Amino acid sequence: MPHSFILGTRASKMARTMAHGAKKMLEEAHPGLEVIVQEFLSDGCKTPGDLKLLGGKGAFVKDLEHRLLNKEIDCAIHCLKDVPGDEPMHPDLQLFCFLHREDPRDALIMRPGLAEPTKDQKAVLATSSPRRHALLKHLYPNAEIIPLRGNVDTRMQKLQNGEFDGMVLSYAGLGRLEMQQHVTKIYDPKEMLPAVGQGILVLQVRKEDVERCKHLRAINSDLTEKIVAAERALLMHLQGDCYSAIAGYCEETVDGFAMRGLVASHDGQTILMAEAAQDLSKPTVELGMVVAHQLLQQGAREIIDSHA
């Protein structure tokens, strides 16, 4: 195990909070280890506007991967939901350590004085996610759904300024920033199925350094790793990218795992749902593929391709 270790992260307040949380866990697990957090401003943070022009959510990941490959850092930390799942990762990199899953649910924040919209209300709601866009249109058919970029503080300021009536964010992210007090409603997963990997932080390393980085596995969650295998198998099998309205949520049951998957049209008019369960004798990757196959049988390919 090295005496010091460079952990690369984006420079946003949220990312710094994630990185320093991982640093604390690693240093507690390995007394004497120094974890140095190195911050970088990614293209996704620097450029306003449509993320699609930068390569989608992967823009937040690619810069750190580049620095990892160039050996500027020893490890990178990502929100798993930002790591593209529609194509294989760079062959020299590996997702190596999965932290315990935080709350995967989505949260609605309305402008002070406003309640959750009704189905008939013409509210203006903001989100950066195609999945949330589709499900918000399904829940609130008369609402206008607008795109939203920026860090959480920027988004909160826009809300306070009256640029829209409400927005949907990750409840885990709000928890990291201690901003849960602003939440109007937390959506049950049955109402708004979470994104693949939502609430999960992952440490990525170079494959050539796997042996050198074994100490990272001290903070790995075996349960989270199994959940990740199922959810990312769903995404890979569907060949959905970050412009597709896809959701996948796997959870532990008394005797195994259960998973639900969803593919939706952008306007929320068509919602395809599938679910399956399996016992502990099978690898969870099979569960994700079963759910994906059910969705494809229902016509998910046509919906996904229409978003490309």
Task: Render pLDDT for 110-155 as a digit per residue (tens, 0 to 9).
Answer: 999 999 999 999 999 999 899 999 999 999 999 999 999 889 999 9
Instruction: Flag whether pLDDT at 176 surpasses 60.
Output: yes
Q: What is the reported pTM?
A: 0.92
pLDDT, residue 42, reads 67
Instruction: Flag whether pLDDT at 190 surpasses 90.
Output: yes
Instruction: Flag whether pLDDT at 280 surpasses 70.
Output: yes
Catalytic hit among 63, 82, 86, 106: 82
Q: What is the mean pLDDT of the chain?
A: 93
CA–CA distance, 7 with 39 (Å, rounded to integer): 9
Closest CA to 145 of 116, 165, 161, 162: 165
pLDDT, residue 307, reads 74
- Active site annotation includes 82: yes
CA–CA distance, 272 with 294 (Å, rounded to integer): 9
Share of the chain above pLDDT 90, in %: 87
Task: Tell me what the mean pLDDT of segment 272-290 comes to.
Answer: 97
pLDDT, residue 129, reads 94
DSSP SS3 for 290: helix
pLDDT, residue 57, reads 56
Q: Please, which residues have CB within 8 angstroms of residue 234's CB and are 6 or more apart in sequence?
A: 196, 246, 248, 259, 261, 288, 289, 291, 292
What's the pLDDT tens digit per position in 26-50?
A: 999 999 999 999 999 865 545 455 4
pLDDT, residue 149, reads 87
pLDDT-based confidence at 87, cuts 50/70/90? confident
Task: Tell me what the mean pLDDT of segment 43-65 comes to.
Answer: 64
Q: What is the dihedral of CA 17, 84, 136, 107, to 10 degrees?
A: -20
